[in-house]
């Protein structure tokens, strides 16, 4: 299982549209994400900055599977209208690097990847 952190940036003025789009993610896209190994996907917004935490079996595999998936194509097109830049679902990225984590053991003794 992989936990991946991602960052994206909204185009100015796209905040409401982005929030509305995520009020009703298509069932077909939800099913495609789950079939591609996604266990959870959370998004936080701070102004125009978006921060994602994805819990997924294999991030690169998921990205490749979604690239041409019929449920993802219209969603990706809609997100392209709202985000400053989008990737091409190549799966070559690895998300943001983890710098530090306070673990359940409470040691806080370094990076846990």
The answer to whether residue 92 is domain-embedded is: no
CB 61 within 8 A of CB 38: no
CATH number for the domain spanning 50: value is 3.30.70.100
Q: What is the pLDDT of residue 34?
A: 98
Distance CA 49, CA 41 (A): 16
Distance CA 89, CA 94 (A): 12
Look-up of token digits 């896209």: 29
pLDDT at 110 over 60: no
The answer to whether residue 69 is domain-embedded is: yes
pLDDT at 68 over 70: yes
Structurally, the chain folds into a number of domains equal to 1
Q: What is the pLDDT of residue 99?
A: 93
Distance CA 43, CA 50 (A): 7
The answer to whether residue 93 is domain-embedded is: no
Distance CA 65, CA 85 (A): 20
Which residue range is the domain that position 26 belongs to? 2-82
């Amino acid at each position: 299982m992989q936990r991946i952190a991602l960052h994206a940036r909204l185009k100015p003025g796209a905040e409401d549209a982005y929030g509305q789009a995520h009020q009703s993610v298509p069932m077909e896209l939800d099913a495609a994400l789950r079939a591609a190994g996604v266990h959870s996907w959370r998004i936080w917004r701070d102004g125009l900055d978006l921060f994602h935490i994805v819990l997924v079996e294999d991030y690169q595999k998921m990205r490749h599977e979604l690239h041409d998936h019929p449920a993802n194509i219209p969603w990706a097109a809609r997100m392209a209208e709202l985000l400053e830049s989008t990737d091409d679902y190549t799966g070559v990225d690895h998300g943001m690097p983890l710098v530090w984590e306070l673990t359940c053991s409470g040691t806080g003794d370094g990076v846990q990847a």
